Structure 1
Amino acid sequence: MDATPAERTAEERAHTPVFVQGSTMRHVLVMTGTGAAGLIAIFIVDLVSLLYISWLDDPSMTAGVGLATVVMFFTVSINVGLMIPIGALVSRALGARQSDDARRLATSGTLLMAAIGAVVSLLTLPFLPQILGAMGASGSAYDVARSFLWIALPTNALMSVGMAFSTVLRAAGDAKRSMYATLSVAIVTVLLDPITIFVLDLKADGAALTISLARVVYFYVGYVYVTRAHRLLARPALQSVVRDARPFFAIAIPAILTNLAAPAANAFFTSIMAQFGDQAIAASAIIDRVVPVSFAGVFALAGAIGPVLGQNWGARRYDRMKQTLKDSLTFMIAYVLGVWLLLFLLQDLVVIAFNAPPLTAELVKFFCQLSGFIWFFVSLVFVANASFNNLGYPLLSTLFNWGRATLGMIPFAYFGAQVGGPKGALLGIGAGSIVFGIAAIITAFWTIRRLERQAVPIP
C-alpha cells in the first residue's frame, strides 16, 4: 500500500539532517547552551584548581599554576584546532546523507588527533625550562609550574581523543550527550581536587593529578556515547586514515595556526605582567580562569554554529547559512552584555573567593569593569572564525586571529603597560581588538555570499 502524503512528509523529515530543518535560532541556542555547559565543565577544572591553590595563601604557588596553565593552553588550543576539521567534515557528510563517509571520517580524524596530541606532549616536556623561562618564570613559581606540567601534559592524548568524541557528537546534532561527556570532567575535578590538594597534601601537584584522572573519565564517557548511541566509529584502516589525512590537514593546519594565536598572545601578556611581580602574574592567572567560565557562551558559540553551517552547506541551503550567522550575532551581543553586567556586580566577590592580595585584587576588579568592552570585539572574531573554518576559508581565520594577537595586541599592550602599568596593558587589549572584530564579521557574510554566487562544489 502506497504511503499517504503526510506519511511521506514525516518520513522525509525523519531522514533529513537535524540542522537543515527547523528554526536556525533554536539550533544556535540549543547547541550553544549545551556546548557552553560542556565547556564550563572543562574550564572549571582550571578555575576550581586555581581557587583551591589560592587558599594555600602562597602567591608564588598561584603564579606557578597560572604559568603552567598558560603552557597547557597551547596544547589545548592545538586540540581545538584539530576538532574543527572533524566537526566540519563529519557534519558536511551527514548533511549530504553520506553516513558511511561520516563514520570513516570520524574514525580517521580521531586517530589523527590522538597521534598529534601525543606528539605535542612529547615535544613540549623536554623544553619546559626554556618555555617557562621565556615567560618570566623564576624561583618557586618556576618549580611549581614545571612539576605541574610533568604530571598533566602526558595525558594530553587522552584529552584530545575525548574532545574528538565530543565534536563527533555535536556534528551529529547530539548536543546533550556531548555536554554530558564534558561535564564528567568537572564532576571528577570537584570531587577529587580537595582530596589530592588538601587531604593528601600534594598541593599544586594534586591539582595536576586530578586533571589527568579527569581526562581518563572524559575519554571513556565520550567513547561510550559515540559507539553505542550513534555508531559513528568504524574499524580503523590505515588506508582510510592516509586518504582522509589530506582534507583533515587542509582544515586542521590553518585552524591550529589560528588557535595558537590566543595562547601566544596570553604568553606575551603574561611576560608583560611578570614585570610587575608575582601579584600581577597571579592577577593574570585569575583573569585567565574567570574569562573562559564567564564567556563560555562565546567559546561555545564558535564551536556550536560550525555543524549548523556545515550541514546546511552540504544541503546547499545558503539562506539558512546567512540566518545562522545573524542569529549568532544576536545571541553574542545579548550574552556579552549580560556577562559584563554580572562581572561588574560580582567583582568584589571574585577577589574575595580567590583570597587575592592588594595588587592582584585591584587588577582583577579593573578587568571585571572593562570585560564587556574587550570581549565584544573579540567575540566578533570568534563568530567569524567559526564561519571561515567550516565554509572552506580557514586561512581567513588564521589571518584575523593572528592579526588581532599581534598587530591588535602587542603594541597596544606594550605601550599601555609603559604608560599605565598593568591596567594600561589590560586596556590596550580591548583597544587593539576593535578593527579586527568589525572587519572579521563583515568578511564572514561576504564569504557566504561568494559561496552562493559561485555554487562552489563540496569537497
Structure 2
Amino acid sequence: MKKDLTKGNVFQNIITLSLPIITSSFLQFAYNFTDMIWVGKLGSDSVAAVGTSAFFLQLCWAIASVFILGTGISVSQQIGAKNYGRAEKISRESLIGLGAVVTLMLVLIQTIPEYLIGFFNLNNNTVEELSVSYLKVAGLGLFFSQAVFLFTSISNSRGDSKAPMKITMIGVVINIILDPIFIFLLDFGVIGAGIATVISQFISFLIFYRRSFTNFFGKERFELTFDEISNTVRLGVPTSIQRIVFTLIGIIMARIVAQWGSDAIAAQKIGLQIESMTFMITGGLMGAMLSFTGQNYGAKAYDRVHEGYQTAIKIAVVLGLLMGTLFYCFPEFFVRWFVTEDTTVAIGASYLRIIGLSQVFMTVEMVTSGIINGLGKTKIPASINITMTVIRVPMALYLSQEQLFGINGVWMSIAISTLLRAISLSVAYYSIQKKMTLSTTY
C-alpha cells in the first residue's frame, strides 16, 4: 500500500500519518511500562540491571539505524518521485546490510558481555550479574527487533503507518501476557523479562514478513548488488553517528550517576522511562514529518514542506508544554508507578522536575530534526545534536559537584543541552528554507 502525501490537506495528512505511529509508540510504552512494573517488583537492583543492559541494546539500535533511517529517507523521496522499483531495490539492499551489522553486534554481546557491563564500575556484584544475564538473553532478539524497525520505516515512508501499528499492538499484547509468566510463574526473574521480549519480537517480525515482504522488497531475488546502498548509507550515517554518540554519552552519564549508588541508577532508568512518553509521542510526529517531507521534497513541493513544518511545530509546542507541566507538578506520582523505595522516588522526582522544564524544547528539536532529515540533509541535525550532546559531560561533571547541585547537576546538564539543540536546529531549518525559497524563485 502507498499513500501520496504530496496532495491533499497538509494538517490532515500529518495527523493521519502520525496518529498510528503515535499509537504504536504508546503501545510500546505500555509494554515498557508494564515490563518495568514487573521488574520493579524484584527490587531496585533488578531495575538497575535492566537499565544498565539497555544502554548497549540502544547502542546496537543506534548502529543499525544507519540503514533504518537512511532507507526511510530514500524510500520516501523515491515514492514522491514515483520511482517505485527503485524504492524496492533500496529496501532489499538495506535489509541485507542490516542483517550483516546485527550479526556482528550479536557476536560481541554473546562473547564479551562482562567487559561491556564492567565499564560502568557498578561496585555491586548482584547488579552486574543480572545485567550480564539480561543482556545475553535480550540480545538474541536483536535481528527481529531491528528488522521490524526497518519494515516500519519503509511502511511509514510509503504513507502506510496503520500496518505497523496493528503489528506493534499484537507484539505488545503478547509481551504483556508473557512477562509475569516468565518472571514470576516460571521464576526466571530478570532473565524472564528478556525471554518474553525476544518471543514477542520474533512474532512481530514473522507477521510483518508474511504480510508485507513482497510489497516492500519486490518479487526479484535478493542478489548481492549494492547500487543504491551507498546513498542510503550516506543519508543514514550522520544520524546513526548521532545516535551512537548519544548512547555513548548516556553510558558516560550513567557512570557519573553510578557514584550515587544503585538507587540513583534505578531512578534515572525510571525517569527515562517516564520521559519516554513525550519522546514516543513526538517520535510519531517526527516520523510522520520525515515521510511527509521526503515525499514532498521528492516531488519538489517546497511550499508544502514549509507548511508542514509550521503545522508540526505548533503541535509539538502544545505537546511539550503539556508533558512538561505534568512532570514538574506530579513527579512523585509518576515515579511511584515503578518503585516505592523513598530514596529512589526522591531522586527520580528531582529528575522529572528538572527535565520537565525542557520538554517543549525536546519536542521542537525532534520535529525539526525529522523535517531536515526528510530533506536529505542529515549532516546538519547530526552535527548540531552531537555537539550539544557531548557538552553534557563537562557540564554534568561541573554542575554535579557537591558544593553546587550534586546529582541534580547531571539532570540540569541534560535540560540545558536540550534547549541549545532546539535553538540551533530552528535556526538551521530557517536557513535551509530560505535557500529553497530562493531556488524556487529563480
Q: TM-score, with normalisation over the residues of structure 1?
A: 0.90
1:377, distance to aligned residue in structure 2 (A) = 2.2
Structure 2 residue identity aligned to 1:42: Q
**Match in the other structure for 1:26:** 12
* 1:96 pairs with 2:88: no
Structure 1 CA distance for aligned equivalents of residues 251 and 159 of structure 2: 35
Q: Percent identity?
A: 18
**Match in the other structure for 2:264:** 280
Structure 2 CA distance for aligned equivalents of residues 163 and 285 of structure 1: 23
Task: Select between 177-186 and 43-52 the one with higher mean Cα deviation.
Answer: 43-52
Q: How does 1:174-253 map to 2 (within 5 A)?
A: 174-227=160-213, 230=215, 232-240=217-225, 242-253=226-237
* 1:69 pairs with 2:54: yes
1:362, distance to aligned residue in structure 2 (A) = 0.8
Structure 1 CA distance for aligned equivalents of residues 435 and 221 of structure 2: 37
Structure 2 CA distance for aligned equivalents of residues 336 and 410 of structure 1: 25
Structure 2 residue identity aligned to 1:367: Y
Q: How does 1:136-175 map to 2 (within 5 A)?
A: 136-138=121-123, 139-175=125-161
Task: Select between 191-200 and 171-180 the one with higher mean Cα deviation.
Answer: 171-180
Q: How does 1:317-396 map to 2 (within 5 A)?
A: 317-396=301-380
Structure 1 CA distance for aligned equivalents of residues 192 and 376 of structure 2: 43
**Match in the other structure for 1:265:** 249
1:412/1:431 contact within 8 Å kept? no
**Match in the other structure for 1:417:** 400
**Match in the other structure for 1:435:** 420
Instruction: Give the SS at the match of 2:242.
Output: helix
1:204, distance to aligned residue in structure 2 (A) = 0.2
Q: Which of 51, 63, 70 is equivalent to 1:78?
A: 63
2:75/2:91 contact within 8 Å kept? yes
Instruction: Give the SS at the match of 2:130.
Output: helix
Instruction: Give the SS at the match of 1:243.
Output: coil
1:265/1:405 contact within 8 Å kept? yes
1:181/1:222 contact within 8 Å kept? yes
1:273/1:280 contact within 8 Å kept? yes
Structure 1 CA distance for aligned equivalents of residues 311 and 136 of structure 2: 43
Structure 2 CA distance for aligned equivalents of residues 184 and 369 of structure 1: 34
Q: Deviations over 1:326-359 (max 9, x none)?
A: 1111111011111123334543332322123122
Structure 2 CA distance for aligned equivalents of residues 90 and 84 of structure 1: 10
Q: Deviations over 1:113-139 (max 9, x none)?
A: 222222222234433223222223341
Count of residue correspondences: 437
Structure 1 CA distance for aligned equivalents of residues 359 and 60 of structure 2: 23
Q: TM-score, with normalisation over the residues of structure 2?
A: 0.93
Unmatched segments (≥5 aa) in structure 1: 1-14
Change (3 A) 1:16 1:30: closer
Structure 1 CA distance for aligned equivalents of residues 101 and 221 of structure 2: 17
* 1:53 pairs with 2:36: no
Q: Deviations over 1:32-63 (max 9, x none)?
A: 2211221233344333222111112x222221
CA RMSD of aligned residues (A): 2.1
2:400/2:409 contact within 8 Å kept? yes
Structure 1 residue identity aligned to 2:37: L
Change (3 A) 1:63 1:38: same
Structure 2 CA distance for aligned equivalents of residues 327 and 140 of structure 1: 49
1:68/1:145 contact within 8 Å kept? yes
Q: Deviations over 1:250-291 (max 9, x none)?
A: 112112101113212221221111000110011011112112
Change (3 A) 1:413 1:185: farther
1:239, distance to aligned residue in structure 2 (A) = 4.7
1:321, distance to aligned residue in structure 2 (A) = 0.6
Change (3 A) 1:295 1:398: closer
Structure 2 residue identity aligned to 1:410: V
Structure 2 residue identity aligned to 1:190: I
Unmatched segments (≥5 aa) in structure 2: none
Task: Select between 105-114 and 184-193 the one with higher mean Cα deviation.
Answer: 105-114
Q: Which of 373, 381, 392 is equivalent to 1:397?
A: 381
Task: Select between 428-437 and 302-311 the one with higher mean Cα deviation.
Answer: 428-437
Change (3 A) 1:356 1:82: farther
